[in-house]
Amino acid sequence: MISRVFNFMKESKAVQLNNKSFLDLLSASPSAKPKPLLDVFINHRGSDTKRNIATLLYDNLRARNLRPFLDCKNMKPGDKLFDHINSAILTSKVAVTVFSPNYCDSYFCLHELALIMESRKRVIPIFCDIKPSQLDVMIERLTCSDDEIQRFRRALREAKDIVGLTFDSYKGNLSEVVTIASDVIVERLVELEAEDGNF
């Protein structure tokens, strides 16, 4: 039964989004939404977590025959940043958000989180060296509009209310948190498969 979770679409086709905005796509009928091409989108702050938890999680998920997305592993020179990342979010089944001390001062992290929450993905938060109560939008108003800041704050409020994993890099076991996170991801994917009636 679980082996079916690992045998998702063998041939991935590029998602053609043409001139539709991503939010228009989200509000479209279920048949118009992109089909899942990825299992997991890993949202993280590269300077904090790319060289440790994010890459180890990606490698662990690949070893389990899942299809994760991590920007430094899935993108190549010449890819359009927003198009590629937005498509990856919309075509993923679940999302892992690795919150870290510098997460909230990144426009890209907050944009990704907002799109994840707006698209109603199953989210597995990992709080790495930060508590949920410490999360707040830290980017300057000069870099984005008030509407965007409110959008980011809504997404953060929603994400903070989801039970997640915690990791303290001074005391914690990185291998253990990556294994636990991978196990939780597999459980969520199995639940989604069961909900979709694919068993």
pLDDT value at 28 more than 70 = no
Task: Report the candidate in 15, 35, 33, 16 with the shortest Cα–Cα distance to residue 24.
Answer: 33
Q: What per-residue confidence (pLDDT) applies to 142?
A: 62
CB-count exposure of residue 13 (10 Å: 0-12, 13-18, 19+): exposed
Alpha-carbon separation of residue 1 from 7, 193, 194, 199 (angstroms) = 11, 10, 10, 7
Q: What per-residue confidence (pLDDT) applies to 77?
A: 87
The catalytic residues are 112
What is the pTM for the complete model shown?
Answer: 0.80
* Contact predicate 88/34, CB 8 Å: no
Confidence of residue 127 (pLDDT cuts 50, 70, 90): very high
Residue 35 is given by DSSP the state P
Rounded to 10 degrees, what is the CA torsion of 61, 67, 69, 75?
A: 120
pLDDT digits (tens, 9 = 90+) for 84-97: 999 999 999 999 99
pLDDT value at 158 more than 90 = yes
pLDDT digits (tens, 9 = 90+) for 29-82: 444 556 678 999 999 998 888 889 999 999 999 999 999 999 988 888 888 888
Q: What per-residue confidence (pLDDT) applies to 150?
A: 93
What is the arithmetic mean of pLDDT over 177-182? 96
pLDDT value at 164 more than 50 = yes
CA geometry: angle 155, 73, 118, nearest 5 deg: 20
Strands 38-44 and 165-167: unpaired
Residue 52 is given by DSSP the state I
Q: What is the number of other CB atoms lying within 10 angstroms of the CB of residue 92?
A: 25
Q: What per-residue confidence (pLDDT) applies to 15?
A: 31
